[in-house]
Amino acid sequence: MKIVTSLIAIAIGFQSTAAFVPSTATRHQLSTTTTARPMGIFDYFSEDARKKREEKKEKIYAEQEALQREIIARRSNPEKMEEYEAKVRVRRALRMSGEDDAAENMDMYNGDNDPSQI
């Protein structure tokens, strides 16, 4: 009887130690999807989203370059600079009198390099 109980104890001991040993038969399952689904925040990394960001960035750069060209042209021409300073004085007077909407709608740029038309 002692032999049977000791054999049972040994068998249980082997089963419990097998829980801590990695199994040799591991299964690798690969799942692939064939349909593209909108994933919310993960759409940021898609090719289309990257192209849209690049186009938006290029548009902003073009607008900023046009503004910079307008500033350079104005600084090199004294007549344009006087005209700009007069517009600034008018806009400041409008703001001081409380007419902020009129000051916001005032056209500070003129000529072909108007950045609002880009």
Answer whether 0.85 is exceeded by the pTM. Answer: no
pLDDT at 111 over 80: no
Q: What is the DSSP string of 52-109?
A: HHHHHHHHHHHHHHHHHHHHHHHHH-HHHHHHHHHHHHHHHHHHHTT-HHHHHT----
The predicted-structure confidence for 9-53, as pLDDT tens digits, reads as follows: 776 766 655 555 565 655 556 666 556 666 667 777 788 889 999
Confidence category of residue 108, pLDDT binned at 50, 70, 90: confident
**For the chain, domain boundaries:** 49-118
